[in-house]
Amino acid sequence: MFKLLEGPQTLGRGKKFWLCFVAVLAGALSYPLFADSYGVGNFAYFLIWIFMALGLCLMWGYGGMLSFGQTLFFGIAGYGYGVLAINMGGGTATIAALALSVVLAMIAAGILGYFMIWGGINGIFFGIVTLSATLVLAFFLGQTAGPEWHIGPARLNGFNGMKGMDPLTVGDFYVEGSALYYVMVALIVIVYLALRMLVNSGIGNVIVATRENPQRAEMLGYDVRKYQLLTFVIGSGLAGLSGALYTSWGQFITPSSIGLPAAAMPIVWVAFSGRSDLTATLVGSFLLLFGFQTITVYSQQAALVLMGALLLATVMLAPQGFVLGIGKLAAGWWGGRGPSDAGASLTETARLQSKES
Amino acid sequence: MSAEVFSLFYQFADVFAFLILSAAGLAIVFGMMGVINMAHGEFIMCGAYVTVGLVNLGVPLAIAQILAAVTAGLIGVLVEFLVVRRFYKRPLDSLLATWGLSLIVTQSMLLIVGSAVRGIGTPEGSFAIGDYTFSTYRLVLFGCAVAVLAGLYIIFMKTRFGVIARATMQNAAMAKALGARTGRIYAISFGIGTGLAGLCGALYAPTMTLIPTMGATFVVESFVTVVIGGANVLLGTAPAAVFLAMIRMALNASYGQIIGQIGMLVAVIVIIRVLPEGLSSVLVRRGR
């Protein structure tokens, strides 16, 4: 099973890569030892968004489905966590609220995905329909200011957003500060490794085959719609995980984290990083979030202008993504030879053939 | 009785005009080049700001609106030349590029002009039928929407440019081989599309608050109209707007704007399951 951690669909293999991985992980784990609590909280905040980016990377880079709806599911799970945590009364129940809210986002993704994928919507329209749904949710939540908009004791509060839910709690222990940071790091390691295994598995190969040519994949006997729906649900579920963690982190959520320009952010991170690889997305998204946060302190608008410029520059200059390009260069320089695409697709073909027989 | 009937028509006309005016530009660009202009809302915003700026300088409203549409059209041609042109082979990338552009424009506007600008107020004038009074300007908007449809019909069906443009739409390589300057056709169509977006902004400028993010108010409606319309925008957009306006009108009247919008979205999601190619595919099949 662990053999699937490296394979044709992911960059990085061999001892050197995993040594780097362990070194970065060790750095991340020891960070709270020498940083102040503000810095740790900030880092935990960047890590929240990584799940959303990885989910989009899976859908867009591997599955070829450009979803603009990451913040839709972020919002569903974020508000879901708030409503559930308030209604279930905090305490250890918040863990259940977290899990349930992610399930809620996945169910919503399943319903929306069913209509789009079985209706044969793809390419540009996939993006437009998901974005429309996102904006409508943001508009809807924006006008829920009145006291009549409540679910149990949880008020939705319109543009001001929902607040008053408990953070993640185990017994009497609030998962905050460096505890939350360690939870985030652990979750990211789990999600990252699990996604690596998924995309290198047989299912992952079908997902990539569908991206390359849906008709061919269908002719080979796969019901590509099921694989697309699976990809969409997992990717959107990861956005939901981000949303629930976000609400738990700050104990509030507002419609502005769903609508524009928030909806464009995951696209910028993943496009800039290089959508076709999980590691590139992980590294690139973290760097962008770090940079964005640094500039936002001075001017949020300027930071967003920069994000727009980065997106434009990425598409015009390096459509495959900057971080991925640099990563490939570095790998080629270090390892003597880069992981060539031809080799990767050959192994892919071999794997598919062995599976068929 | 006639007052009630007219009231229904008025509500329908209001929504229909909004859908057509906000979607026409997007539909032309999509139908022509297979590209969705994500900065569509920003061209609408541009039209609105130019209108209000000119009116505040003392230019009469109607002239300001025409100038605003022309400005948006010219900026569109420039954007096509600088950005969109590179992505005709990669429509998804053009989506991202224009989205990047949209972010840059919206946020720069927020930085430069701030959040709100002095508006100009809806032109006075109303008339009464029975017990109801109606705003004249809303009917003017409906008239403009019908005029836009008629204008597009004439441009694309009755002029030499239209013939070449439709040929390019159908098969760009073949049209090019026959001597059509497809690059120029694309640039002009993109300009027409953004000009129509500017016109939409100009026409709605008096009725709404001007903020740099106002484009977002229009994009959902324009997106869903184009999605439902389908690939053949010349055939699909108007019936799509009629269909959506009916749903929207019914829901708006009984449950309010936001439920109207949600209902419209749900209708769209159900429709794409049944008619993935949009309404125009049905119309094309009927026509054969």
Is A127 near chain B, with CB under 8 Å?
yes
Write the CA distances from B258 to A139, A214, B253, B263, integer angstroms: 7, 37, 11, 8
Does B281 score more than 80 pLDDT?
no
What is the pLDDT averaged over residues B19-28? 93
Alpha helices in chain B (DSSP H): 2-33, 40-56, 61-82, 91-113, 136-158, 160-170, 172-177, 182-204, 215-229, 233-255, 257-274, 279-287
pLDDT of A136 reads 92
Angle, to 10 degrees, between the axis of helix B61-82 and the axis of helix B40-56?
140
Contacting A residues, span 145-204, partner chain B, CB-CB under 8 Å: none
CA-nearest residue to A137 within chain B is B262
| Residue from A60, A122, A312 whose CB has the most chain B CBs within 10 Å, to mutate | A312
Helix and strand counts by DSSP (H, E) for chain A: 14, 6
Q: Are A175 and A168 in contact (CB under 8 A)?
A: yes
Residues with Cβ within 8 Å of B104's Cβ and at least 6 positions away in sequence, in order, are: A305, A308, A309, A312
CA-to-CA distance for B15 and B12, rounded, in angstroms? Answer: 5
Is A136 near chain B, with CB under 8 Å?
yes
pLDDT of B114 reads 75
Is A305 near chain B, with CB under 8 Å?
yes
How much is the ipTM here?
Answer: 0.91
Q: Cα Rg for chain B, rounded, in angstroms?
A: 19
Report the share of chain B in percent with pLDDT over 90.
47
Looking at mean pLDDT, say which of A5-9, A267-271, A298-302, B235-239 comes out highest. Answer: A267-271
CA-to-CA distance for A251 and B112, rounded, in angstroms? Answer: 33
Write the CA distances from B229 to B44, B54, B234, B243, integer angstroms: 20, 35, 9, 10
Q: Is the peptide bond before A261 cis (omega within 30 degrees of 0)?
A: yes
Tell me the shortest Cα–Cα distance from A307 to chain B, in angstroms: 7
| Residue from A124, A149, A211, A288 whose CB has the most chain B CBs within 10 Å, to mutate | A124
Does the distance separating the beta carbons of A136 and B261 come in below 8 Å?
yes
B183-207 pLDDT per residue, tens: 899 999 999 999 999 999 999 999 8
Does A159 score more than 50 pLDDT?
yes
Q: Which helix (H) or strand (E) holds A198?
A: helix A177-200
Does the distance separating the beta carbons of A305 and B108 come in below 8 Å?
yes
DSSP labels, A149-184:
-EETTEE--GGG-EE-PPPPEETTEE--HHHHHHHH
DSSP labels, A249-302:
HHSEE-GGGTSTTGGGHHHHHHHHH-TT-HHHHHHHHHHHHHHHHHHHTT-HHH
pTM of the predicted model as reported, rounded to 2 decimal places = 0.90
Nearest to A116 among B93, B262, B272 (CB): B272
Report the share of chain A in percent with pLDDT over 90.
59
Q: How many CB atoms lie within 10 A of CB B233?
A: 26
Tell me the shortest Cα–Cα distance from A317 to chain B, in angstroms: 11
Residues with Cβ within 8 Å of A60's Cβ and at least 6 positions away in sequence, in order, are: A66, A67, A270, A275
| Residue from A66, A132, A143, A225 whose CB has the most chain B CBs within 10 Å, to mutate | A132
pLDDT of B288 reads 55
Instruction: Tell me the chain B residues in contact with residue A112 when contact means C-beta distances shorter than 8 Å.
Output: 269
Is A296 near chain B, with CB under 8 Å?
no
Work out the mean pLDDT of chain B and round it to a whole number: 88
Q: Are B41 and B219 in contact (CB under 8 A)?
A: yes
CA-to-CA distance for A308 and B104, rounded, in angstroms? Answer: 5
Tell me the shortest Cα–Cα distance from A162 to chain B, in angstroms: 19
Torsion of CA A105, A110, A116, A118, to 10 degrees: 180
pLDDT of B252 reads 83
Does the distance separating the beta carbons of A139 and B258 come in below 8 Å?
yes
Tell me the shortest Cα–Cα distance from B180 to chain A, in angstroms: 27
Does the distance separating the beta carbons of A260 and B216 come in below 8 Å?
yes
Tell me the shortest Cα–Cα distance from A59 to chain B, in angstroms: 14
First-residue to last-residue Cα distance in chain A: 20
A169-189 pLDDT per residue, tens: 887 788 888 889 999 999 999
- B226: closest CA among B19, B42, B77? B19
Does A233 score more than 60 pLDDT?
yes
Does the distance separating the beta carbons of A271 and B97 come in below 8 Å?
no
Q: Which of A307-316, A339-348, B166-175, B234-243 has the lowest mean pLDDT?
A: A339-348
A246-305 pLDDT per residue, tens: 999 989 999 999 988 999 999 999 999 999 899 999 999 999 999 998 898 888 899 999
pLDDT of B91 reads 84
Does the distance separating the beta carbons of B34 and A124 come in below 8 Å?
yes
If pLDDT is split at 50, 70 and 90, which confidence band does A357 have?
very low
Does the distance separating the beta carbons of A312 and B265 come in below 8 Å?
no
Instruction: Tell me the chain A residues in contact with residue B87 when contact means C-beta distances shorter than 8 Å.
Output: 315
pLDDT of A69 reads 92
What is the pLDDT averaged over residues B84-93? 86
pLDDT of A339 reads 45
Report the share of chain A in percent with pLDDT over 70.
93
CA-nearest residue to B259 within chain A is A140
CA-to-CA distance for B265 and B278, rounded, in angstroms? Answer: 14
Q: How many CB pairs under 8 A join A and B?
A: 127
Does A120 score more than 90 pLDDT?
no
B112-150 pLDDT per residue, tens: 887 667 777 777 778 888 777 888 898 999 999 999 999
Does A341 score more than 50 pLDDT?
no
Q: Which residue has the higher pLDDT, A313 or A348?
A: A313
Q: Which of A33-47, A78-92, A118-132, A333-347 has the lowest mean pLDDT?
A: A333-347
Q: Are A243 and A81 in contact (CB under 8 A)?
A: yes
pLDDT of A335 reads 63
pLDDT of B1 reads 67
Does the distance separating the beta carbons of A115 and B272 come in below 8 Å?
yes
Tell me the shortest Cα–Cα distance from B278 to chain A, in angstroms: 10
DSSP labels, B221-281:
HHHHHHHHH-S-HHHHHHHHHHHHHHHHHHHHHHH-HHHHHHHHHHHHHHHHHH-TT-HHH
A16-51 pLDDT per residue, tens: 889 999 999 999 999 988 888 888 988 899 899 999
Write the CA distances from A348 to A2, A64, A200, A221, integer angstroms: 18, 17, 9, 17
CA-to-CA distance for B113 and B50, rounded, in angstroms? Answer: 13
Tell me the shortest Cα–Cα distance from A154 to chain B, in angstroms: 21
* Cα B104–chain centre separation: 21
pLDDT of A3 reads 78
Strand partners, A170: A173
CA-to-CA distance for A44 and A39, rounded, in angstroms? Answer: 9
Does A138 score more than 50 pLDDT?
yes
| Residue from B92, B98, B262 whose CB has the most chain A CBs within 10 Å, to mutate | B92
Instruction: Tell me the chain B residues in contact with residue A309 when contact means C-beta distances shorter than 8 Å.
Output: 100, 104
Residues with Cβ within 8 Å of B10's Cβ and at least 6 positions away in sequence, in order, are: B134, B138, B139
Does the distance separating the beta carbons of A140 and B96 come in below 8 Å?
no
- A58: closest CA among A213, A286, A210? A210
pLDDT of B119 reads 74
Is A253 near chain B, with CB under 8 Å?
no
Strand partners, B128: B133
Instruction: Tell me the chain A residues in contact with residue B251 when contact means C-beta distances shorter than 8 Å.
Output: none
What is the pLDDT averaged over residues A312-327? 87
Joined together, the tokens standing for residue A270 give 């993943």
Q: Show the CA angle centred on residue A198, arms to residues A197 and A202, nearest 5°.
A: 105
Write the CA distances from A189 to A23, A37, A71, A142, integer angstroms: 13, 22, 22, 35
Among left, alpha and beta (phi > 0; psi -120 to 50; other), residue A121 is: beta
Residues of B with CB under 8 A from a CB of A: 34-36, 83, 86-87, 90-93, 95-97, 99-108, 110-111, 213, 216, 219-220, 223-224, 226-227, 258, 261-262, 265, 268-270, 272-274, 276
Q: Are B35 and B95 in contact (CB under 8 A)?
A: yes
CA-nearest residue to A260 within chain B is B216
Instruction: Tell me the chain A residues in contact with residue B106 when contact means C-beta distances shorter than 8 Å.
Output: 260-261, 304
What is the pLDDT averaged over residues A59-67? 93
Does B258 score more than 90 pLDDT?
no
Joined together, the tokens standing for residue B171 give 């098969």
